[in-house]
Amino acid sequence: MPDTRLSRRRFVQLTAGGLAAVAIDPKAPAVLTGAKKLPVVIASGNGGKFKNGGDRTCVETAFAMLAAGRDPLDAVIAGVALNELDPGDLSVGFGGIPNADGVVQLDASCMHGPTKRAGAVAALEGVRTAAAVARAVMEQTDHHLLVGAGAQSFARQVGFTIEADLNTDASRAKWIEWKRKIDPEHWLAPEKRSAADPAAREAFRAAADRARWSMIASGALDPLHAWGTINCNAVSAGGAVAGVTTTSGLAFKIPGRVGDSPILGAGLYVDNEVGAAGSTGRGEANLYNLSSFLIVEEMRRGAHPKDAIVTALRRIAAATVEPRLLRLDGKPKFGLSFYAVTKTGEVAGAALYSSPTAQYAICTENGAELRPLDGLLGEWQA
């Protein structure tokens, strides 16, 4: 079996040339990949941590279902539901960090490789398991995406319980802290925020961004996970591929903001002939590049998942040119991570930045493990 470890020298070679304005850290560790074993499940790091009071994590639950012969979409939907229902995971579902108005709005998408079908919801309120609603969209409508009140109405019609508030004490406390950090001079009333006044809208965005980064600096928010999300992809023993991405979105986002998670090709992409890829992190950067689609297409051309992710990360870093999105050293000041698996079971995870908390989860017949997400641009620095 060929060596699946990417050397530091090779990592630098792969990333050189595409980032004229962004320096590559030559000390960035190698990207780790898994052996070719089926079935296999790969997820963002929270997929290997939260159990919602049970005995198994997302990846363990999904793998057990695959081992029992269940469809991979059944497996990943059940896996991420653990995170969606766990109030300890502030990045998805019940207790996800709310928007600027204190309301939890959820986005999710799913794709089923064998049937070439997909479904998604965005700005969904009142339903803890957005991924399951996305699946219902796939199975019970002729559409790929339902949003807002329409998504909630559909969820009610097909039997989901609608709750008045998905906040927990923890998520509400984060929102209150964020509100308190906003300078009253720049916190605009709803009528001003919706006014056709660019200066008023910009003042709100600037105040919100300052407060969010203040909470990141104080440790109240994880710098690489202020955008939340769980992505989980699986390949069955027979080579069937499926994936899901679900999120509460950017912490304290503008109400109605939709990121990459429910958009096919951005937050998730599955092709049963190739494999799957998904993301967590700043959705706007991913949307501009449709990076999950790019990763799957690179794998279609024969690239290993680790090389396909590097290609996407290079493109994202090179496309980040607005000063407000750059640190003082000229590198992007946000986190974005990708997770990919081929139909044959090769896996990889990598990110713009590494950090002690940046990990991805996998589960094979050898059990579940968390692996470090290696950074294209080295270790995160505020």
Catalytically active residues are: 229
Burial of 281 (0-12, 13-18, 19+ CB in 10 A): buried
Tell me how far apart the alpha carbons of residues 95 and 103 are, in angstroms, rounded to a whole number. 10
Helix (H, G, I), strand (E, B) or coil at 134: helix
AA identity, residue 62 = A
Tell me how far apart the alpha carbons of residues 294 and 190 are, in angstroms, rounded to a whole number. 39
Secondary element (H or E) of residue 120: strand 117-124
The H-assigned helical ranges of the chain are: 8-15, 58-67, 72-85, 130-140, 148-157, 169-181, 190-193, 198-218, 283-289, 291-300, 305-319
CB 174, CB 97: distance < 8 Å: yes
Tell me how far apart the alpha carbons of residues 118 and 136 are, in angstroms, rounded to a whole number. 10
With CA atoms as reference, report the closest residue to 335 among 44, 15, 18: 44
DSSP 8-state code for residue 354? B
Half-sphere exposure of 165 (CA within 13 A, CB side): 8
CB 159, CB 153: distance < 8 Å: no
Tell me how far apart the alpha carbons of residues 269 and 233 are, in angstroms, rounded to a whole number. 10
CB 76, CB 243: distance < 8 Å: yes
Rg, Å, the chain Cα set:
20
Which residues sit opposite 233 in a β-bridge?
Answer: 42, 243
